[in-house]
Amino acid sequence: MKSPISSLQSWLPLNIFLIISTSVLISSTSATTIFDIPRLSPLGGILQDPETVFSANVSDDFETFYYNQTLDHFNYMPESYSTFQQRYVINSKYWGGANRSAPILVYLGAEAPLDSTYLTAIGFLTDNAAEFKALLLYIEHRYYGESIPFGSRTEAFRNASTLGYFNSAQALADYAEIILNLKEQLQAQYSPVIVIGGSYGGMLASWFRLKYPHIAIGALASSAPILYFDDITPQDGFFSVVTKDFREASETCYQTIKDSWSIIDEVATKPDGLSVLSKTFKTCDPLSSSSGLKTNLVWMYARAAQYNHPPNYPVTTICGGIDGAPPETEILDKVFAGVVAYSGNRTCYFNATQNISETIIGWRWQVCSEMVIPIGITNNTMFQPRPFILSNFTEGYCRSIYGVLPRPQWVTTYYGGHDIKLILQRFGSNIIFSNGLKDPFSSGGVLVNISNSIVAIHTVNGSHCLDMHPANQTDPEWLVIQRKAEVNIIKGWISNYYFNLLAAFRQ
């Protein structure tokens, strides 16, 4: 196993000091399932074109290491001392070195493997590493990728007993332990640490700053819906934004979608109705109910809104297909034209057999334990009402799978959230909450400044975690300005840290 100190010593003197597609598997039968709580992946939009992502070569500047991580940071039972190998990656190409107390940017991995997808698609760190002269550290979340306790994924996911160590508090403690260990190895005790995350990882970044202020001097939390817990945010917030996005793109498109649900139901009631719907939408398998088709359409629209990134703008693409159909076209054919515009020409759509990824399995446990984000649909959207009913979710799904019940109040108990401005302005500092208002999850984000140093930066046309993606020459000006503002704030944190550090040495 490689050591980061031996790897970096090739160019460092020995005494030098040294950072949610919602990839949703759609249920075709149940109206209240785990997939009513979508993943928070920052890369969902990019994954619409998976060949581009997975064909990208990871630079040789990224080196992979493994840390012998503690299984249970919060108990002293014999089994708590078990360990597992946790993966992390370092890019030291631009680092100014520990003798200059150059900063460390730490990307907090979320509900996905820390593989080439993340290392190439999370561009904010590499785009700004040279300017900060920063060491880049990426840490994989426990139970994802290669960071699996109990020796194997089968054993780790065997039941609630082995999954019981799979939660955000343990993950934050993992990050803290790795960061401190790395700083010790590199003699970088005075290098300031900035934690960065997007989506669920953005929540982790903000919580890390609050729980471990002695380790990280600041946090950038992109598209982090920390207020979408415990009824702080109305459950229809997510789909209200989806509706707003489509209505702003095209009133006729919005109305077509809104009218389509009752027509689908009407067709389904006819003797050969499901066969007609299957043919109209070219489903991969014959439909067994109209609810399966409607659920797929709902989440297609939701993904398009969440990842409505330039230059393709999926919402505009779907509406272009719907509005571009000839005037005499039937409504369901218009809707299908939107499906084709979004997904491209395929032999079939929707209900093909899919492999359930490790990420979906992991997120299923997380939302059945603590990440209970109550996303529902009310009468105020372009969708048919489909409220989130906690008892159905709890008893009808989570208990049946794991034998345990979710704890919907635990996130706000452990991290806070209620009266957040009143609370955090008294003791919190140095957190950036960035959001794009076209992102449905922005409805649960922090959109106003809490204090002078806990700030909200949002863009009217921004989408989910767009500021985390690599900079591109075609980026709109508002996105360039957003990223620049974030960088300038982080520079201020680091400058203030150095000022205080110098003052301490002079005493």
Query: Which positions are catalytic?
Result: 199, 439, 464
Please give the structure tokens belonging to residue 439: 């992102």
- Which CB contacts under 8 angstroms, 24+ apart, belong to 311-314? 311/474, 314/45, 314/48, 314/342
Say if CB 398 and CB 405 are below 8 A apart.
yes
Q: Strand, helix or coil at 268? A: helix
| C-alpha to C-alpha distance for 147 and 86, rounded to whole angstroms | 4
Token couple for 268 = 């389904």
Sequence-separated (6 or more) residues with CB below 8 Å from residue 145: 87, 109, 112, 113, 114, 115, 358
10 Å CB burial of residue 281 (0-12, 13-18, 19+) is: buried
Residue 31 contacts by C-beta under 8 Å, 6 or more apart in sequence? 291, 295, 386
Cβ–Cβ under 8 Å, residues 203 and 239 = no
Q: How far is CA 102 from CA 4, 87, 193, 484, in A?
A: 17, 23, 9, 20
C-alpha 79/C-alpha 164 separation (Å) is 12
478: alpha, beta or left? (left if phi > 0; alpha if psi -120 to 50) = alpha
Helix (H, G, I), strand (E, B) or coil at 84: strand
- The per-residue DSSP string of 172-218 comes to HHHHHHHHHHHHHHTT-TTS-EEEEEETHHHHHHHHHHHH-TTT-SE
Give the span between the Cα atoms of 277 and 95, in whole angstroms: 58
State the CB neighbour count (10 A cutoff) for residue 164: 14
Do the Cβ atoms of 45 and 463 come closer than 8 Å?
yes
Helix (H, G, I), strand (E, B) or coil at 65: strand
Q: Which spans in 250-353 are helix H?
A: 251-268, 273-280, 290-306, 314-324, 331-343
Here the tokens at position 114 are 């820390």
At 125, which amino acid appears?
L
Distance in angstroms (rounded) separating the CA atoms of residues 216 and 415: 16
Q: Which two tokens stand for residue 381?
A: 């959207």
218 close to 495: Cβ distance less than 8 angstroms: no
In single-letter form, the type of residue at position 467 comes to D
